[in-house]
Structure formats: structure tokens, C-alpha cells
Structure 1
Amino acid sequence: VTLLGRSPLECHDAPAAWQKALHGFSWLRNVPYDSDEETSARARVETRALVLQWMVRGRKLAGAASDGEVVARRILSWLAHSDLLLEDADQRFYDAVMARLAADIRQLDTTWTSLNDEGRIMALVARVTAGLCCTDGAELRVSSERGLHRELERQLTSDGGHVSRSPKMMLALLLDLVPLKHLYAAEHLTMPTALAEAMTRMSTFIAQLRLGDGTLVRLGGGAHDHYDDVAPFGRVERFAPEGSVLFSTSGFGRLAAGATVVVADTGSAATSGAALAFEMSDGLERLVTSAGLDSERSITHSDVRHSTLIFDRGGSLTRRQGEPTLDAPSVAELMVADDGSTTLDATQAGYYGLGVAHRRTLTLDADGATLKGVDTLRPLAGVQVVDALHYAIHFQLDEQVVVTRLGDASSVDLTLASGVSWQFRAEGARLSLETCVLAGPRPKTTLQIVVRGRWPEERALTWQFVRQFTRRDDAGGASFAQKASKKPLSA
């Protein structure tokens, strides 16, 4: 948004997300008030002037200012940065800020139940925070703690996930809860056991949905490009694969061996926008990713934005036919073989009007050097099967991956920025390279591998990623040694 000499409060034509961030005051965390004395003093004066201008405008502000989620965010922001706003402030400004805080808290008393899931938790966290920070706030704190506990019990799954199945939303909720833990300690109070246990479950879940670079997967609509937000849960430099795990209730599976991490979506079609999609990293580098979704787009059933199998929606096949049925069950299993390899076997049972189910098996060998996948279509019992179906399996690559075609039509070389090389091979199938756009604040164009097939002639396609170079850590630092890994595909 370009101000062109205007006050930010006059930019009524700004995007909705920008307006919410403005009126929620989350930008206060970027004010350099802890720098040198001169910079800090100037930051305080300018920030307080804008806050005063905002309060003077009062009811004339744009509608975003009174949105329940924005009100909750504003309470949290003002309380978190109270030293910036109120330290050595004159009494009139101090009283005005406190009066506005009190009004916002009263608004949430009656409106928080009308908010969406994320907004309800944010509002209750804001009320608990206010109860901890304000004089005589014990009654507000206790009642809000009870409400927050009920909401977390309603929204969290037994394995620590969220009913939305959105990793991005999970992280946002957890980041709102983390400061509460420190605030209880600062006030010499014990955080309620139920809240502490919920945070532990959420933290464990989030940790398993991080790739080797420490960032969250983009499955379910996430578009995280930085690891700043997950820093509280372990610095990237120390992040290491934590083993393979299956979250059956939430619908996510993780394979980890050596430096390789694979995270897959195994959830039901009713909540999954990326049925059987996966992402993959080698060390601190992403290899297979998801294009993610723009904030203006729905995340429901948008498989073309993920690394998974999709049906051709052209010709006589409608979009509705090419999507999983909402009540179709998903089944997933995690198995460890005698040779140390781990297999994630998941099935999405049923597509509108097609009469077929999609099964994907992902097998990561013991040292993380080979990921083998098999995508299989099978007919559903008692359902009329469409005579001919065209489908495509997409593997969306990180923008840092350099792709080189090899001598045949079924394999390509993939080189990471570090020099580590992987080879992708598809058994008995031709592959193509196509462009796709990675969503985010600054969309980026990258390549995707696409392997196409036709039902019922090709009921299964086998493919694999094989590392050609591996890292060797020695006293001189990281180097690379070529590995003879021209393994043939096996059934």
C-alpha cells in the first residue's frame, strides 16, 4: 500500500488483510523502540501520535476496526507493547488507552461466541491476558480460562491437531498461547494444567509437520516462506528429523530417515484440500513442495496446488466428478520393514461419479536415500466405474531446485542449491516439466514434474526419488561424495 502522504487511517481502499493488520496493531512488534536512545524516543512519539489519531477517530474508523478478531488482536498487541505505549506517557493519553482497552474487552464479552474457531480462541486468549495484566482482573481471568479450555477441547483432536486440519492455523493458535505461559510465570501464577497440556500436544504436533529447514509444510493452504514463526519451538540449526509417525485422527503422516523428511496428507476428503499430497526435504533444503494457496482462494479440494494425483477435469469430466466425495473415508497405516525402511500406506476411497479409489504408498529406505512411491487406482465395489479416465501425478519442486533432463523420457536430475543431487524416475511412463506458481507474499514461479496415465489401462504408476550425492561431515566442514545408487525399480 502506497500512502502518498496520507495517514494510514485514510487508506480505505487498502486490501482487507492490510486493514485488519493496521487496526489490530500487530505492526507494533516492528517498531524499533528498543534501539538507541534517540531512535527509541522518536519511535515512541510517532507511535503514540498514530495511536492517539486512531482513538480520536473512534467510531468513524473503517469496519475492520470493530471486527471481533481484530479487536482481540488489538488487545493482545497493546498489552504486549504497553511499555512502548504507556511508559512515561502523560495521564490523559494513559487514561484514553486504558479506556479503549476496557471497551474492547467488554465487546468481546458478548461477541466472542459469534467468531470462527480461530477468532474464538484468539478472543479468549486476549481476555485471559487482560485478566492477568489488569488490576482486579482475577474474575475475568478465571472465567476466560474456563472458556478457553472448552474451546481447545472442542477444536483440538486427540493427537494434537486442529479440526481445520490447517498447519498454518495451528501455528497461529499456538503462537497466541505461548506468551500466556510466560505471563503466568511473571505473575507468579501456575498455568492451568488443561491449558499447559493442550499446548504440549499442539507443540508436538507442529514439530512433526516441519520439514528439515524448520518451516511448516504448505499442505492445507499454508504458504510459509520463513521459519521466524516456528523459532520458539526449536532453532532451525538444531532441527533434526524426529522419526516417523502417523497422526491418524488429524490425517497427517511423517517419514524421516537420515537427512530426509517426508510429510504427507492422509486426511479424509471432507477436510483435505490435498488428498494424499506430500512434501519432502533433504537436510535444510526443500525438494518437493506444495504451491500453496493465495489468501483469496478456498483451500477446499484444490489438489492441483499440491503434489498428488488429480483427474483430468476437461472434456466430459466435471470438476465435481474429479473431486473426492465428502463422506469418503481415508485409511492410513505406517509400517516398518526388517530392512529398516518405513512405508506410509494411505487410501482415499471414492471420487464423485468415477467409481474409483486412489491409494498411495510412500516407502523411505533406512538411510533416507530413496523414496519410492506407488499410486494405484482401483474400482469401488458396487459403483459404476467410468470407462476411461485421464489422470496426472504432480510433483511440485522448490524454486531452488535445478532440473536437468536425462537421456530418457522417464527421468530427470534434480540439483539442490548445496550441490546435493537427486534423480527422479517414473517406471514405464513419460514425464513432462511444467511451470507452477508458489503462493505467498511474493509469488514465485517454479517447475513441477507431471506424469500422466489413463485408467483402466494404467492402474498403477511407480516412481522414486534417489539421492545421487550425499553429505559427508568432517573436520573441514560439509563435502559431497558421489554415491553409486542406480537402484532398479522393483515391484
Structure 2
Amino acid sequence: MSDRGALQRLATVPLLQRLASRGKPPLRLLGVARDHVIGSKARGEQLLAGRFFVGGEAVALDDLDWAAIDPSTSLGAELHGFSWLRDVAAAATRERGAALAEGLVGRWLVAHGSKVDPAWAPGLWGERLLFWLAFAPYILSRRDADYRSALLNTMARGARHLAAEADNAPPGLARITAWAGLTAACLLLSSGTSRLAKAEGGLSRALASAQFDDGGLMSRSPAEQARLVDRLGLLRAAYAAARQDFPQGFEDSGAAALAALHGVTMGDGTLSSWQGGNEGSRAALAALVEGCGFRARPLRQPRGWGYHRLSALGTILVIDAAPPPPRKLARIGSASTLAIELSDGQQKLVVNCGGPGDLTGTLPEGLAPALRTTAAHSTLTLADTNSTAILPDGSLGRGAEDVSVSRTEDNDASRLESAHDGYVRGFGLVHQRALSLGNDGKEVRGLDRLTPRGRRKIREDVPFAVRFHLAPGVEAVPTADGLGALIRSPGAPPWNFRCRGAQLDLEESVVVDGQGALRSTLQLVLVGEVSHLGAEIGWQFRRSS
């Protein structure tokens, strides 16, 4: 890739000269935020080789046409956000990395620097500023005065744009990112220090409106939770570079966010799969936890975040014990209430099917909506109906709204009882799930009850299914009586599964992995019928050794 030639051509472009805003006092950086999160060396080497990959999509970087890259797509958003600078830095020296990064930044300035267009979305500008400021040595190493001035002045214009538009970003992570980027710019750009108080106030409001007091995002998305920790970690670095104290409120938000993220991390170091997301990258999550600057223990008993964590001697059980997220805060919420994931050491055993997350276009057409259904999660489904309706436009409708939780600990086990009303309106039945994890980590007991509530009563028996989607590579061999199975996996001792109150079937299933790809697996399905009087289904996972 002829980046040096491209830069020479850029230096003669009149537009860059106009972007340089000659005649005004020169802008300068007051410091460089040091990013302590190590990027992916493998991905950085791909970038240096001229290829940019997101999920199953790819784009060639040679003569990249920024105007043709739609920032509303998953690939476009990641390109325009410039978070990939972290991967370049992990794979290359400053000199080699700058040859690539400055060429791409220069072409971005030519395509988007002089006009407000979709690439100026507040969330994207916030992300762009966070990463441009953190990797300034890679994008500001040249002595070309027009290029340097054009970049710094465009950053300043982006900051002014955010000062006016940040609150117009969608509520949640996008708005938080917009205000975080502005705050970083106010700290580190010589033109922005007067707006710092406004930026800090805007970020405080954005966090308060999108983050539960237990640290979890109201979107209830683990993937977004990881990005929240990352955004606040980058902002923390900006304060350090500016030699200013990180406000205690932001420190508390970051530590609480990390605790909530730890709470949905399984024994293998990947995320449990909720709200249309997947397990993500183990290496990326480990790098984030190590480098973000925050320290926290896993959140075990959440309030709004809703993901309860039971753990004992390497066995981890996570349950979604809360309603789905509000429509305005969740682009792809799921009907997963009372679903579980289970791991033994580094081996996942029971999972949810997951989804593509931001890696849109990686799955067969029409499959992504199916992965948001109750049946795609390890919980009970009644009459093949979602516990919360998924409307034709993809948004969530009525369903599980009242979710109760009770938790106790004693010398023998950790116990949790929860219930939701998602089936009351249609069937007059409440789903209750009781779980216990023995303190030796060897036994998980579950009891699913359907109990009558309200005036509505079903006239005929209705079928139910309690599903346990197994992780890829986990095998299940049914017992002769049809009430149990031997669970074998490559990374853990065998587990025995038993059930009562239902018949056990073994069916095919699918799981979306951390790269957004589909993998075949199996599921245990407990099937039966329930009358208006209710039903009770007991089950047990027990480690053989």
C-alpha cells in the first residue's frame, strides 16, 4: 500500500489547506492519553497488510473510498470510529503504524472533514476523538503542517459539534460515548478547556440516564457493557494525560461497570450470551480488564442489571432474573427472562444461542430474529410462545414485566428463586424457577413451576419445553429411561443430568460464536403438557467426580 505517496498527494489537496484554518492561533495537544488496553496483534497485521475485517465482511484499504463506507453498518461504524488504531499499535512500531494510520486519517479528512454528514453522528465523533487522542503519536507524527493543522482543527470542530449535538445521540452507550469524547477533547485540545465543565455535566447526565445504580447498562447488553468500561477507561487516561484528577463519580461508574461485566463472564473468560450478543473475544476481554484502569469483583447480586451470578469452586451459574430492557434503550432486546448459562472451570456446559451483536450480516437471512426468542435461550417456553413478545418491526412488546427475585446462602448451597409474569396474560400461568448451586460446585438443582394466576384459565392442556442449549463440543448421551443423560465435554469431567415431571428429548441446536459465526450443537429439551392447575418440572446437573 503506497501510503507515503498518498500522503504526498494529500499535502497538495486545497481542501486540507482550508481545513487547516490558517490565520487562527495554532491548535496543539496538551497531552496524549496513554491507552493501556493491548489491541489484537493479529488484526493489526491484517490492517498493515491492507485488509480490514469485521465478522464475515472485509474491505481493502488500498485507495479506500471513505465516502463509500456507510457508517450505519457494523463494518462502517468500526472503520469510522478508529478503534482499530489500537490493533495497529499492537502490531507495528510507531513509524510503520503511522504510515498506514496517517494515510487513512488524511483520506478521511478529505472525504468528511469539511461537512456534517452521517460520519458526524455524535456517538461516532465521541469514539473517534477518544481514539485519535489516545493514538495521536500514530496520526500526528508527520511534519506536514497542512495535514497536522487540518487534523487538529477538524478535531476541534468535532468537539464543538458534540457540544451542540451530544444529547441528540440515542440514549445509552452512544450518548455516553459522545460526551466522553467531548470531555477528552476539552482536556487535551488547547481550544476546548473552557467547555470542560459542560462536558463533565453532560457525561454525568448520560451515565445517570443509561446506567443502573449497580453499574449495569439499562440496555442489559454485555457487549455494550464492555464498551462502556472501555470508554471510561480511555477517558480516565485522558485525565491522567492532562494531569487532572479523575472525578470520583466517573471512577465509581467505571468500577461499577466493570463489576457488572465480571458478573456475566463465564469460567473460560468469555461473556455469557444475552440480548442478541455472543461470547465475544476472550483475549480482548482479558486485555480490557487488565488495561482499563478499574478494579472490581464480580457483581453477584444485582438490582437493575438483573444477571445474578452463583459460583462455587470453579462452577459458575448466571441467570437472567429481570425483565427485558426498555425499547428505547435496546436495539435488539431478547425474550430471555429466567434463562441460565453454566460453566465448569474453563468449560462452558449450558449456554444460550446468542446472536450476531454488532456483526450484522454474518448469519443467514431471517435467523437473527429467531435467536432472540425464548426458545433460543436455556429456559422454559410455553406453547412455543415468547415470554415477551417480539413485534414485526423487531422491537419488544408486552410480556415479562413483574420479575421477583429471592436469594439465600447457607453452609450447603447458594439458592435463588425467581418468577416472571410473561405467560399470565395469555395463559394465566406464572413461570417460577428455583435454582441451587452446592458449595462444592458439583451439583446444580433446578425446579420450574407453572402456577395459576389471574382470571384467565386455559381450557385444554398446553405443551411446554424446558431447554438447555449445550455449548459447542459438549456431547449428551441419553439414558435408557428417557429421564437423563451423560454430559461429556473436552474441558471438564462428565456431568449427569436427570429430570422429573417431563420427558427428555435430545435435539439439534446452534450457537453464535465470538466471531459472529454459526456453530452446530445440541440441546436437552424437557417436554410435557400443563393444565390450568399448573405443573412442576425438576432437573439436576451433577458432576461425576
1:329 counterpart (402, 408, 412): 402
Letter of the 1:25 partner, please give it: F
Change (3 A) 1:225 1:414: farther
Match of 2:132 in 1: 78
Match of 1:482 in 2: none
**Equivalences for residues 438-457 of structure 1 within 5 A:** 438-440=511-513, 441-456=516-531
Change (3 A) 1:87 1:400: same
Contact 2:470 2:522 in 1 (8 A): yes
Letter of the 2:381 partner, please give it: I
Distance 2:470 2:133 in 1: 42
Match of 2:190 in 1: 135
In the alignment, is residue 69 of structure 1 matched against residue 99 of structure 2?
no
User: How far did 1:298 drift?
Assistant: 6.0
Distance 1:259 1:127 in 2: 42
Change (3 A) 1:466 1:62: farther
User: How far did 1:462 drift?
Assistant: 0.6
Match of 2:435 in 1: 362
2:353 counterpart (264, 278, 291): 291
Letter of the 2:463 partner, please give it: H
Q: 435-444 or 73-82, which moves further after superposition?
A: 435-444
Match of 2:535 in 1: 459
User: How far did 1:57 drift?
Assistant: 2.3
Letter of the 2:245 partner, please give it: T
Match of 2:65 in 1: 9
Q: Per the alignment, in what secondary structure is the counterpart of residue 221 of structure 1?
A: coil
Q: Per the alignment, in what secondary structure is the counterpart of residue 162 of structure 1?
A: coil
Distance 1:246 1:356 in 2: 27
Change (3 A) 1:312 1:72: same
In the alignment, is residue 346 of structure 1 matched against residue 402 of structure 2?
no
Q: 19-28 or 245-254, which moves further after superposition?
A: 245-254
Match of 1:110 in 2: 164
2:220 counterpart (132, 157, 165): 165
Letter of the 1:186 partner, please give it: A
Distance 2:145 2:279 in 1: 42
**Equivalences for residues 123-272 of structure 1 within 5 A:** 123-231=178-286, 245-269=300-324, 271=326
Letter of the 2:416 partner, please give it: L
Q: Per the alignment, in what secondary structure is the counterpart of residue 455 of structure 2?
A: coil
Contact 1:33 1:43 in 2 (8 A): no
Q: Per the alignment, in what secondary structure is the counterpart of residue 158 of structure 1?
A: coil
Q: Per the alignment, in what secondary structure is the counterpart of residue 491 of structure 2?
A: coil
In the alignment, is residue 273 of structure 1 matched against residue 335 of structure 2?
yes
Gaps of 5+ in 1: 470-491
User: How far did 1:306 drift?
Assistant: 1.1
Change (3 A) 1:324 1:82: closer
Distance 2:81 2:126 in 1: 8
User: How far did 1:252 drift?
Assistant: 2.2
Distance 1:181 1:67 in 2: 23
Match of 1:378 in 2: 451
Distance 1:71 1:201 in 2: 25
User: How far did 1:218 drift?
Assistant: 1.0
Distance 2:279 2:512 in 1: 9
User: How far did 1:74 drift?
Assistant: 1.6
User: How far did 1:17 drift?
Assistant: 1.0
Q: How many residues align?
A: 456
In the alignment, is residue 91 of structure 1 matched against residue 145 of structure 2?
yes
Q: Per the alignment, in what secondary structure is the counterpart of residue 219 of structure 2?
A: coil
2:100 counterpart (26, 30, 46): 46
Q: 123-132 or 401-410, which moves further after superposition?
A: 401-410
Alignment TM-score, normalising by the size of structure 1: 0.84
Letter of the 2:351 partner, please give it: T
Cα deviation 1:364-395 (Å, max 9, x = unaligned): 11201000111110111333335321111110
Change (3 A) 1:431 1:159: same
Distance 1:113 1:234 in 2: 29
User: How far did 1:357 drift?
Assistant: 0.6
Distance 2:369 2:168 in 1: 21
Contact 1:263 1:278 in 2 (8 A): yes
Match of 2:380 in 1: 309
Distance 1:435 1:327 in 2: 27
Change (3 A) 1:405 1:242: farther
Change (3 A) 1:159 1:56: closer
Cα deviation 1:308-361 (Å, max 9, x = unaligned): 1112338xxx988xx994463110100124x42111100012423211110001
In the alignment, is residue 24 of structure 1 matched against residue 81 of structure 2?
yes
Distance 1:325 1:85 in 2: 49
Q: Per the alignment, in what secondary structure is the counterpart of residue 292 of structure 1?
A: coil
Match of 1:401 in 2: 474
Distance 1:5 1:227 in 2: 27
Contact 2:129 2:181 in 1 (8 A): yes
User: How far did 1:10 drift?
Assistant: 6.1
User: How far did 1:235 drift?
Assistant: 6.1
Distance 1:4 1:124 in 2: 32
User: How far did 1:402 drift?
Assistant: 2.5
Letter of the 1:16 partner, please give it: T
Cα deviation 1:46-98 (Å, max 9, x = unaligned): 33222222222237999542322222222222111110011243111101111
Distance 2:116 2:383 in 1: 44
Residue identity over aligned pairs, in percent, reads 26
Alignment TM-score, normalising by the size of structure 2: 0.77
Contact 2:309 2:318 in 1 (8 A): yes
Distance 1:242 1:283 in 2: 18
